[in-house]
Amino acid sequence: MRESIRRELERVVERHAEIERLLAEPDVIQDQGRFRDLSQEYARNETLVERFSRFREAETALAEAHAMQNESDAEMQALAADEATRLAAEIETIEGELRQLLVPHDPRDDADIYLEIRAGTGGDEAALFAGDLFRMYTRYAEQRGWNVELLSEHHGEQGGYREVVARLSGRGVFARLKFESGTHRVQRVPETESQGRIHTSAATVAVLPVPDEVEAIEINPGDLRVDTYRASGAGGQHVNKTDSAVRITHLPTGIVIECQDERSQHKNRAKAMAFLQARLTADAEAEQAAEHDAARRLQVGSGDRSERIRTYNFPQGRLTDHRINLTLYRLEAIIAGDLDPVIEPLMTEHQAHELARLTGEP
């Protein structure tokens, strides 16, 4: 184990013992807010402390097993060698667990998200690709038991979407999809291409965590322009006769949010406002990250929708994630919703970088 990681683990153990003492003090018990925060921190680190304790016990036992291998008794030497092999494997396993447990917990990992997909360069083909991406994410959501709530959609002339926004709810939604923000590029032969030439188009994806009430940015009502209009698409006669759809423009930033999912104008406005809060909160966090932590953004991308993160090459059945030089030749399965082979390497890369940053490793 690297010395920098061991020092960080020892620091957590010391802090854990300190919190245990604090939780027994009368003034802390009487301060409900502080007691709650300390209790949560104590619970978060309990598994790490237990595993590090077992790690040190295994290290001691391994040293004893190595010493026993110097015994003159051949049978004892063989037993010690077997025990040393077992302990070395256990130590390696626990060290991997400890590395993961050291990675700082992102409190937003369990947040719901807004998924926004927009067709980029490429005309009708870009809109079709945006539709492919939306189906890919919705199928992945179905596999994981997440709920998908469509908020607004603008279809392309030949199908797909010029823009689509949905809210995804479920366990670990943001944790698994937070690296999807950016420009997704597709290379394929459009159905309308008579000469079989490969075209390149793009769509942008934004994954925005739904902020809780504490962190959500307050919005000045005077900064908003609210328009209502008749929703388009399926929904029956009511949709065509009532101005139930809502468009909110945030004047200082120019951000425009639409919602036409509900028949009630009041509900559509509430959903649009919630989405606007998520956009403004995410933009503020991205600006802060750009100022204070540029190195982190280089690992798995900034989340900026202008950044090209991935290429889907249909003629070769290849997907390439440019941030971690990941290439997979299983594009058909991925587009059908089998996203874990793409997402998990990104999560692993992120965890490795966060651990290196925490321990000061190069």
**Do 90 and 230 belong to one domain?**
no
**Measured between alpha carbons, how far is 240 from 157 in angstroms, rounded to an integer?**
20
pLDDT recorded at residue 299:
39
In a domain, residue 275? The reply is: yes
Give the pLDDT of residue 5. 86
Give residue 294's identity as a one-letter amino acid code: A
Looking at the fold, whether 117 and 91 belong to one and the same domain comes out as no
Residue 36, in any domain of the structure: yes
Do residue 332 and residue 273 come from a single domain?
Answer: yes
Q: 225 and 325, same structural domain?
A: yes
| Residue 86, number of CB atoms within 10 A of its CB | 14
User: Are residues 174 and 244 located together in one domain of the fold?
Assistant: yes
Rounded distance, CA 11 to CA 233, Å? 58
Do 185 and 279 sit in the same domain of this protein? yes
CB proximity list for 180: less than 8 A, separation 6 or greater:
137, 205, 207, 309
CATH number at residue 260: 3.30.70.1660
- Same domain for 285 and 252: yes
* Residue 165 and residue 133 in one domain: yes
In the chain, the number of structural domains is: 2
Asked, for residue 133, whether it belongs to a domain, the answer is: yes
Q: Which residues contact 193 (CB under 8 A, 6 or more apart)?
A: 199
Q: Are residues 157 and 29 in the same domain?
A: no
Q: Helix, strand or coil for residue 269?
A: helix
* Last residue in a domain, options 83, 102, 121: 102
On whether residue 358 sits in a domain, the answer given is no
Domain that holds residue 278: 113-353
Query: Does some domain include residue 119?
Result: yes
- Asked which of 51, 76, 102 is the last residue of a domain, the reply is 102
Looking at the fold, whether 133 and 221 belong to one and the same domain comes out as yes
Looking at residue 270, what is its pLDDT? 86
pLDDT of residue 168: 96
Which pLDDT score is estimated for 215?
60
- H runs (alpha helix) in 69-169: 74-102, 124-143
Q: Could you tell me if 151 and 275 lie in one domain?
A: yes
For 141-186, write each residue's pLDDT tens digit: 999 999 999 988 999 999 999 999 999 999 999 999 999 999 999 9
What DSSP element (H or E) covers 297?
helix 294-300
Does residue 180 form part of some domain? yes
Query: Distance from CA of residue 71 to its chain's centroid?
Result: 53
Q: What is the DSSP string of 188-228?
A: E--TT-TT---EEEEEEEEEEE---TTTSPP--GGGEEEEE
Q: Measured between alpha carbons, how far is 143 from 155 in angstroms, rounded to an integer?
A: 25
Instruction: Answer whether residue 236 is part of any domain.
Output: yes
Residue 39 CB-half CA count within 13 A: 10
Q: In what order do the strands lie in the sheet with 113-119?
A: 147-155, 161-169, 113-119, 199-209, 182-188, 308-313, 318-321, 326-328
Low-confidence ranges of the chain (pLDDT < 70): 192, 194, 213-216, 231-242, 288-306, 361-362
This model's pTM is above 0.85: no
Are 59 and 168 in a shared domain? Answer: no
Assigned domain for 28 exists:
yes
The pLDDT of residue 213 is: 62
Where among 74, 102, 130 does a domain terminate?
102
What is the model's pLDDT at position 126?
Answer: 93
